Amino acid sequence: MIERSTWSCTIRTVAEAANFQTEMRQLLRERVLDTARRLVVTEGWGAVNMSRVAKEVGVSRPVLYKEIGTKQDLADVVIRQEVDTFLVGIADCLAAHPDDPVAGATAAVDYTLRTGADNTLLKAVLSGRSGADTTLLPTLMTETEPVLGRAVAAVALTLRTRYGLPDLSDTELADRTETLVRLALSHLFQPTGPTERAVEQIRPVIAHLFA
């Protein structure tokens, strides 16, 4: 009985230690991303380097490299976190129109464009404040990940879950979602007029894709 009790305590202690380590790593990751984002917004991506981030967070460079990877990895994670914030709002827009995919997708586009126009990180990157170091621009605008691929997968899944869309195969849904996401991103990255006008331009496309 004593041995079993001791063994149970040991298992519990190991589990608690593992949970603590996981929590500390998550906390470190959040602090790193918050620091990197703040630097981009206030000084541009060129001001971000692993030594400075490590110093401001209060860890060594080896620890930072182990947790995040390279500066390009950090760029990917910062952008991915921003994308995930947008995706939460998009899911809420679709949920607000449970029986109408066209209305839901239109609301999602409207949300994306309005929120993006006020997003400090997006404005910092697109305004060219990154100076000579434009690493974040291709990460944001041209690479499949972490923006386009992540958004298409998440939005397609949400559309399928929310509306069913039984007439569309998974491939067809993915293709149509990609068309919508690419169009929304185009207006977001290179606006030519007010948001209301952009939404009106996109609405007929949405109706064609999902009506």
Which two structure tokens, joined as six digits, stand for 61?
């460079």
DSSP assignment of 122-146 = HHHHHTTTTTT--THHHHHHTSIII
User: Would the pLDDT of 9 be above 70?
Assistant: no
pTM for the model stands at 0.83
- Better-predicted residue by pLDDT, 24 or 198: 198
Average pLDDT over residues 77-94: 95
| Res. 31 pLDDT band, cuts 50 70 90 | very high
In tens, the pLDDT along 37-47 reads 999 999 888 88
Domains 1-69 and 71-210 in one fold:
no
Per DSSP, the three-state class of 29 is helix
- What percent of the chain is modeled with pLDDT above 70? 86
The CATH topology of domain 71-210 is Tetracycline Repressor; domain 2 (1.10.357)
| Res. 11 pLDDT band, cuts 50 70 90 | low
What pLDDT was estimated at residue 191? 92
The residue ranges of every structural domain in the chain are 1-69, 71-210
What pLDDT was estimated at residue 130? 46
**E strand or H helix at 204, and its extent?**
helix 195-210
Just give the CATH number of 1-69.
Answer: 1.10.10
What pLDDT was estimated at residue 145? 72
Helix residue ranges per DSSP H, 44-169: 50-57, 61-67, 71-95, 101-118, 120-126, 136-141, 149-163
